[in-house]
Structures are given as structure tokens and as C-alpha cells.
Amino acid sequence: MDIQAEKNSLIEYITQIKDVSILEKLKQFVEANDKDFWQELSKDQQQEIKQGIAELDNGEKFDFDSVIAKHR
């Protein structure tokens, strides 16, 4: 399946819909399924990400190449 072709097909289909109730149902479906990945993370995962951001903000970071070099 070509995802871009599927998207284009859906766009074409949507542009031809004349029934407002169908458009409203489609909109409700999209909104109900548009999840923010942050809410799907556990509290521990969220905390780890926040900690990582705080460390970066404090200048606590490592160059990618130096990290990779240690593990080769």
C-alpha cells in the first residue's frame, strides 16, 4: 500500500462529501484518535524525559561521537 496514494484518495473523497453530518462524524473520529504520545508514556518515562531535558539545559551533555567511541 502506498500511503501517499491512500491519503490523496481520502482527501479526494472528503472534498466530495456534501452531507455535513458525515463530515462531523469524520471530524469526531479524527479528534478521538489524535492522541498525544506524552499521555501514553508512564509517569516514570515522563520523569526521565524531564530529567534529560533539565540536564541538557544545565549543559550536561555529551558529544555523540565521544559516546559512540566509548562503545566500539
Same domain, yes or no: 9 and 19: yes
Q: Cα-Cα-Cα-Cα dihedral of 44, 45, 46, 50, to 10°?
A: 100
Indicate the pLDDT class of residue 51, thresholds 50, 70 and 90. Answer: very high
Same domain, yes or no: 47 and 72: yes
pLDDT at 15: 94
* Domain range enclosing 60: 36-72
Q: What is the pTM of this model?
A: 0.45
Q: Which three cell numbers stand for residue 53?
A: 531535558
Same domain, yes or no: 48 and 27: no
Number of domains in the chain: 2
pLDDT at 70: 83
Query: Measured between alpha carbons, how far is 11 from 14 in angstroms, rounded to an integer?
Result: 5
Residues 1-37 pLDDT 10s = 799 999 999 999 999 999 999 999 999 999 888 888 8
